[in-house]
A and B are shown apart, each in its own frame.
Chain A
């Protein structure tokens, strides 16, 4: 069955059903875009000590929450109206799961913004900003790639995102050790270094959520659930 060029899924007989699925995907990706911007701005706000930007991020989180609820509602209506099957069912289920991950990423951005404000008031931490920028860029890349994999139904890209998670964990551990050293050297550093630690933790969590999204993309495309399975299993499923 030849697929329509602008939608890899191909056309339903019911145009309305088609439109509903397309609208769901679009809404989800829009939320993804917003959340990516939130994380990017949050890291900037921290590194540049920009309290105003940080306040904007916290206010915008309400929009992220609203979008999660809208996507969930739309997904539920599709299930009620259309009883989707096969790939459509997997799409709707995956979107419901992934939208929760996006909302949590939004929360992490809010958290980072909170610490940006705290640090802009307390004064910069002596250390950690390079690591924040580096890990921040890394996990933002993962998030971007996982959303891109969803848009293009690319399970191989999703697998690559999953493999990055280990690297992020290692970078996080290294950064944590460095900060610990600083805290041990001088007790006056503790409060500010702890704030940076929390930021790094939040970024590491963003990486985890990007992985979750990637796992759901693999489920959507390949029909097998690779959550909680070893990497070799995911490799086997993607290679099928």
Chain B
């Protein structure tokens, strides 16, 4: 078995993150939410992702309840919500990372560029190259910096010659804002880098296979404020070339980096709106309660 297959390693990454397999119990607040109804602007023209009536359950327990959402091209959209609300579960639907969780069932229509993501004939590895993922805890391979970035392009056959591979590695590291720090030690082992550098390396690794979408699951949770600020700057630059979906616990981060914000609550998508509106005058009372800290 090829243990270095990036999709398997990434799946291990999910288990390392202690991924939210906890399922929210139904609480009295559920009664104020109308299932399948989302206030604000959940839909977009010519979306990158078109998601309709998505249902995700872990065994008998419903984790995502009838959610419909568009994710626009080249937008940065933030998913926020209390612990256990389903935002990470929903994120993982977008590149079928939930496939690795046996009891997880995904229903509904999920399309990327008008093509069904869950088509059984679909090449999942190719999907995950197009829709890359960066996790909460940086998870570089136990290889050199160069090989971390080069691994994906190698196995996807993106380079015919060493010089082409070198170019891809350099471009990816540059885009991730890591080139100057790494260029003189590309052969050094990646695990020797600081947390912030490792995370930017993981971003470079995702970029190296020319994705169209980058999913980020609390990418700065494990980083200090300076490293966080650098990653946020990076997100702003990357949004010109990629569609970015970021799950975050930090309201301020969502406010800083995203153009639209989606508020999840107990498996429901309560509100989606322009970020500036969500944080100054949200439409739904639950959204306001959460972001003002009246309940978590």
Interface residues of B (CB under 8 A from A): 251-252, 255, 279-282, 285-286, 288-289, 291-296
Contact = CB atoms under 8 A, between A and B. Distances in A.
B293 A90 contact: no
Given A83-B252, A223-B280, A223-B281, A88 B289 contact: no
16 contacts: A1-B286, A1-B289, A10-B289, A12-B293, A13-B295, A14-B293, A83-B251, A83-B252, A85-B251, A85-B255, A85-B291, A86-B280, A86-B281, A87-B288, A87-B292, A223-B280
Contacts of B282: 86
A196 B291 CA distance: 52
B140 to A, nearest CB: 32
Interface in A62-104: 82-90
Contacts, number: 44
Nearest to B281: A223
Interface in A133-151: none
B293 A13 contact: yes
Given A1-B295, A86-B291, 9 more contacts: A13-B293, A13-B296, A17-B293, A85-B255, A86-B280, A86-B281, A87-B292, A88-B292, A89-B280
A81 B292 CA distance: 13
Nearest to B251: A85
B285 to A, nearest CB: 7
| 5 smallest beta-carbon distances between A and B, as pairs | A223-B281, A85-B291, A85-B279, A1-B289, A86-B288
Contacts of B281: 86, 90, 223-224
Contacts of B280: 85-86, 89-90, 223
B279 A1 contact: no
A84 B288 CA distance: 11
A11 interface: yes
A82 B282 CA distance: 18
B42 to A, nearest CB: 19
A16 to B, nearest CB: 11
Given A83-B251, A90-B280, A1 B296 contact: no
Contacts of A88: 292
A86 B251 CA distance: 12
Contacts of B279: 85-86, 89
Interface in A90-144: 90
Nearest to A90: B280
A85 B261 CA distance: 14
Nearest to B289: A1
B251 A11 contact: no
